[in-house]
Structure 1
């Protein structure tokens, strides 16, 4: 009988060991992303992900050789900063005024040349960055994108 009790206690000990081992393996597997780190840990990509903020369309009078022309411009700003929507809503009059001044100084031929598009985007980026900084708006604009540009 002593052999039977030892056998039962060995079986019980072995069963407990298997249960403990399985529980430990399950826990380590469940916690491995936080324990190991690296590619298993999800990064906060939203903080670094650029977002696009469309502005209301502009209709601007542009001087031409004989007649005035009109420019319909739709654009968006690309930024990784936080609170961009709120800041753009507050600074909307500054942004619109600055862009209207910039484009109204351009000649029709200058705006009608597709090779000038990138230069205009860079000029608008520098202009908006400066205007917002001068007026104490903490926003960093990565890029200015013209999403639609019609000149008549």
Structure 2
């Protein structure tokens, strides 16, 4: 593809009606899917500028720099956009656990074909240790 045919990031991305795009964080060297969160354009810009992943917290209506309160920082290795421009894949180097529950990743509830749920990952770090008593 000639360089002139490559769209800009703004042309490539499709944000939802709230100005957000889902972002999946994946450990760059193992392929482990860590978590999914939301980003707006400013969070993407900060992530690209600083190399530390920044998300938009819908519940707090504020920027959420992964690891700023827990120390479990995500460093950006690569940022990819899917073919439709409506999902971001962040290849990251995750320090410690990614999930606020103290597990390595957020996908620890496994549902079998009958609908039964099994927790398949142990808590590695107490949430109280990560965030202090709240």
TMscore range, shorter length = under 0.3
* Larger RCO (CA within 8 A; separation ≥ 6): 1
Q: With the length of structure 2 as denominator, give the TM-score of the two structures.
A: 0.26
Normalized per residue, which structure has more helix?
1
Structure of higher CA gyration radius? 1
Q: With the length of structure 1 as denominator, give the TM-score of the two structures.
A: 0.24
Normalized per residue, which structure has more strand?
2
